A = this chain, B = another copy of it.
Amino acid sequence: MRIGFIGLGGMGSAMARNLVTAGHTVLVWNRSPEPVERLVAAGAVPATIDEAFATGTVLSMLADDRAVTERLLNPAVLASAPAGALHVNMATVSTALAEQALHVHTERGLRYVAAPVFGRTEAAAAGALVIVTAGETTALDSVRPLFDVLGRRTWTVGDTPSAANLVKIFGNYLIACTIEAMAEATTVIEAGGLDPAQFLELLTEGLFTGPIFTGYGTMIGNRSYEPVNFRLPLGFKDVQLALASGLEHNVPLPFGGVLRDAFVDALAHGQAEQDWAAVTETARRRAGLT
C-alpha cells in the first residue's frame, strides 16, 4: 500500500520502518528532520502532511492531544485531504479528543479510526505490539494488513473510535495501579528488613507473570529505574485521562485519587525526568526511608 505516517518518535519510527520493510510505500513526516532522514535512508519517502494525506491512508503517532489537535485537526490540513481519506490515530489520546476528531473528520467527508497500542519501543521494533482498534468496519478492514505488520494481535472493540482509547487508558490505569501496589508492598518489605527484589521475584515467578509485573518489578525491586521507558509526567497524563473518563461516566476512582497524589508528590520532588516506576520513591519518602 501507499500510505502516510505522521510522527516519528521512538514508537513511530519503529512502526514506520516495519511498514517500509514489509514493502509498503510510506510517506513520512515529523516535526524535526533527523528521524525523517533516518527513515528515508531505510526506504521511506519524505513528505509534507498534505502529501501524506493525499495517499488516502494516514497513520499517526503523535505525542498527545495538543499535538494531534495542532497538526491533524487543523482545518487547513483537513481541507486539502482527498474525499474519503482515512486517518488512523495510534496515539494514546483522550476519549474527548477521539470524539472531536471523529466529528471533524466526518463533517469534511473524511474517515477516522482509533488504534492505540500496548507495548514499548522494543515491541514496536519487533512488530509485536498489541493493537486496540475501533471504528467503521470497512475502514478497519482496509488497514488490517498494516496492523498485521505492526502488531502481534489486533483487538477490535466496537465501531466508535473513542472506545479503543478508553480501553487503552484503562489498560494503562491497571499498569499504574500495579506500580503503586508494588511500591507500597515493597516499602513495608524494606522497612521490615527484607529484600524487595527477592519479594517481587518470588511473586512474579508464578502468580504475577507477564511483562508488566516482571519489567516494572525488576525496576522496583532494585530501586533502580533505568532505562527510562516512559517518563513520569507521561504516566501522570494517563492517570489524569483515566480520572477524566471516570468523571465523564460518573465513576468514582479511589485508586486513581491515590495515584494522582503519588505522582504530584514525585513531581514536587524533582522526579520529572524519571521512569514512572520511580513513583515508588514517593512511598519510600512517606515512610522516611530516603
Contact = CB atoms under 8 A, between A and B. Distances in A.
Given A118-B207, A167-B194, A188-B166, A267 B250 contact: yes
B180 A253 contact: no
Interface of A: 95, 118, 130, 132, 152-153, 155, 157-158, 163, 166-167, 170-171, 173-175, 177-178, 180-182, 184-185, 187-189, 191-195, 198-199, 202-203, 205-213, 242-243, 245-247, 249-258, 260-262, 264-265, 267-270, 283, 285-288
- This protein's copies in its complex: 4
Contact of A210 (B191, B206, B255): B206
Contact of A249 (B191, B247, B251, B256): B191
B255 A268 contact: no
Q: Is the interface of A mostly helix, strand, loop or mixed?
A: helix
Given A182-B174, A199-B170, A286-B265, A158 B194 contact: yes
A250 B289 CA distance: 10
A254 B175 CA distance: 17
A170 B191 contact: no
Contact of A208 (B132, B188, B213): B213
A199 B167 contact: yes
A203 B188 contact: no
A132 to B, nearest CB: 7
B205 A212 contact: no
Contact of A187 (B199, B251, B269): B251
Contacts of A184: 173, 177, 246, 251, 253-256
A211 B180 CA distance: 20
Given A177-B181, A181-B178, A288-B269, A250 B191 contact: yes
B253 A202 contact: no
The 6 closest A-B pairs by CB, nearest first: A257-B257, A177-B181, A252-B261, A209-B210, A250-B268, A191-B249
Contacts of A264: 246-247, 250-252, 286
A174 B185 contact: yes
A256 B260 CA distance: 11
